[in-house]
Chains A and B, each alone.
Chain A
Amino acid sequence: MAGFDKVVKSYAEALAGLTDDMTIIAGGFGLCGIPEGIIAEIKSMGVKGLTFVSNNCGVDDFGLGLLLEDRQIKKMISSYVGENALFEQQFLSGELEVELTPQGTLAEKMRAGGAGIPAFYTATGYGTPVGEGKEVREFDGRPYILEESITGDFAIVKGWKADRYGNVIYRHTAQNFNPMAATAGKITIVEVEEIVEPGELDPAHIHTPGIYVNRLIQGSFEKRIEKRTVRSA
């Protein structure tokens, strides 16, 4: 590695330093825009006691759901965790802790965490179980709750294209939580479909500037579809 070149040669190198009980921020919405190869490597590493901050937890045999098989996840911070029988089973048995967080608040917790803002006020969740025990403050007569930001030991991100300097572009709605996740990891790993040379991507069209990215790897993706809905032509 030299200068700004973020490319690593292997998944083992990409995940070097990941140990038990760490917190990982993950991009993705359902199975859309998830770093498949990085998840597979975390599974094969066998690290345990992980806390994942991710909108969802995959399905039984794909995405973060794969890490439930060997009970590697201790806690999920998510907005929606349906569609996953193993998840249900581990949650009901008390093995898996879940902190349900409104989707917009979750996105903002990552964004603010990565931007050096430790907490923020939001009206979302006021008067609901989410607001219980949280500081309330009124602005212009409306109550808001104080939500704390999130950062992680690692962030795992799925991009479309990146240059070797780690400037990343996402494709379509596979963007979702990925740009925020990328900012919120002490070590941010990005897995992309294609790595190009610096200068090949339009600087004005970069979604995640390379300053946030520590390690970059080219993966190959199954891109499984969770709900295949089509119309006749």
Chain B
Amino acid sequence: MALSREQMAQRVARELQDGFYVNLGIGIPTLVANYIPEGMEVMLQSENGLLGMGPYPTNEELDADMINAGKETVTAIKGASIFSSAESFAMIRGGHVDLTVLGAFEVDVSGNIASWMIPGKLVKGMGGAMDLVAGANNIVVTMTHASKHGESKLLTQCSLPLTGAGCIKKVLTDLAYVEIAEGSFWLKERAPGVSVDEIVAKTEGEIVVPDVVPEMEF
């Protein structure tokens, strides 16, 4: 079975460590916040200028001056800090954020990522994604392994305009956890009940398969 969105978030959460500053993108990455292990302290960075993002406010707490990078109203946790956009991207670009999780349309064996622009369709903009992928040392990309039409999103070479070049090393799809090194994908884990053959068939770029590929446990 392919992983659900929740299971993908749960798997990504295993990359968290105590004391990590983490930037979560929109969509599945946002759900990772629901699976921070008990007793572990993690601070969420929102690139509009908030370190220590809390949950959505109650009606009483609602404040138009308190939003996240997705423009949703949020709260700040105790010990949070708030700063300008320049400061926010200084910490992102400067490599101070410990883990960045974001979605993508495609990744390739060179660690390139395409996530913001589909030629012929209206382009809304890259927001902070290009800064995030250029600045982070530790990025996990979350996406489906193949499109609805069965076309692989793990490619020899991205076909869409890039968000960043040579910056992705970890990819979690609904079928597998894959790392990128030395110009190949490396199959590390598979979703429960998903065969290695299916993963290989749905991976267009070269993929190295070890003798044993452990199943993820949930």
Q: In the bound complex, do residue B71 and residue A107 qualify as a contact, i.e. CB atoms below 8 Å apart?
A: no
Would you give the shortest CB distance from A150 to chain B, in whole angstroms? 13
B117 interface hit (Cβ, 8 Å): yes
Number of residues from B at the complex interface, CB < 8 A:
53
B134 near A: Cβ within 8 Å? yes
CB–CB B125/A176 < 8 A: no
Flag if A128 contacts B63 (CB, 8 Å).
Answer: no
Q: Identify the closest chain B residue to A29 (Cβ).
A: B48
> Interface majority SS on A: helix, strand, loop or mixed?
loop
| Interface pick from A16-24, A41-49, A198-206, A220-228 | A220-228
Contact in complex: B112, A176 (CB < 8 Å)? no
Residue of A nearest to B55 (CB): A231
**Residues B92 and A104 in contact, CB atoms below 8 Å apart:** yes
Query: Nearest-CB distance from B43 to chain A (Å)?
Result: 15
One of B48, B62, B70, B117 near A230 (C-beta < 8 A) = B62
Interface positions of B from 44 to 65, Cβ below 8 Å from A? 46-50, 55-60, 62-65
Contact with B along A119-144 (1 / 0, CB 8 A): 00011111111100000000000000
> Which residues of the other chain, A, contact B68 by a CB distance below 8 angstroms?
173
Q: Which residue of A has the minimal Cβ distance to B131?
A: A104
The reply to whether A177 and B73 form a contact with Cβ atoms under 8 Å apart is: no
**Chain A residues, CB < 8 A from B125:** 78-82, 100
Closest Cβ of chain A to B109, distance in Å, is 15
Q: Which of A100, A102, A174 has the most CB of B within 10 A?
A: A102
Q: Looking at chain B's contact residues, is the secondary structure mostly helix, strand, loop, or mixed?
A: loop
Report whether B56 and A230 are in contact in the complex, using a CB–CB cutoff of 8 Å. Answer: yes
Question: How distant is the Cα of A150 from the Cα of B63 in the complex, in angstroms?
Answer: 31
Contact residues, A149-183 vs B (CB, 8 A)? 160, 171-180
Output the nearest chain B residue to A78 by Cβ-Cβ distance.
Answer: B125
Contact B85 A103 (CB under 8 A): yes
CA distance A175 to B87 in the complex (A): 11
- Given the complex, which residues of A lie within 8 Å of B65, measured CB to CB? 32-33, 160, 171-174, 223
B123 close to A (CB within 8 Å): yes
- The reply to whether B71 and A226 form a contact with Cβ atoms under 8 Å apart is yes
Q: A104-B131, A105-B131, A108-B89 are in contact. Are A229 and B122 (CB under 8 A)?
A: no
Q: Whole-angstrom distance from the CB of A27 to the nearest CB of chain B?
A: 9
The segment from B159-167, B190-198, B204-212 that touches chain A is: B159-167
- By size class, the interface of chain A is 35 or more
Contacting residue for A29 out of B71, B134, B135, CB 8 A: B71
Asked if A30 and B127 sit within 8 Å, CB to CB, the answer is: no
Taking a contact as CB atoms under 8 Å apart, the answer to whether A127 and B162 are in contact is yes
B130 at the interface (CB under 8 A from A): yes
B149 at the interface (CB under 8 A from A): no
* Contacts A123-B135, A125-B134 given; does A173 touch B126 at CB 8 Å: no
Instruction: Give the CA-CA distance A123 to B60 in the complex, in Å.
Output: 42
Query: Residue A13 at the B interface, CB < 8 A?
Result: no
- A residues with CB within 8 A of B: 29-33, 55, 78-82, 88, 91-92, 100, 102-108, 110-111, 122-130, 160, 171-180, 207, 223-233
**CB pairs A–B below 8 angstroms (10 shown):** A29-B48, A29-B67, A29-B85, A79-B128, A88-B122, A103-B127, A107-B88, A175-B82, A179-B86, A227-B73
Give 12 A-B pairs besides A79-B128, A105-B130 with Cβ atoms closer than 8 angstroms: A30-B67, A80-B125, A104-B88, A128-B130, A128-B165, A129-B162, A173-B49, A173-B50, A175-B49, A180-B84, A223-B65, A230-B59
Q: What residues of chain B have their CB less than 8 Å away from a CB belonging to chain A?
A: 46-50, 55-60, 62-68, 70-74, 76, 82-86, 88-89, 92-93, 112, 117, 122-131, 134-135, 161-166
Give me the 10 closest cross-chain CB pairs, A-B, nearest first.
A127-B165, A104-B89, A104-B131, A82-B124, A80-B125, A223-B64, A103-B128, A107-B85, A102-B130, A172-B65
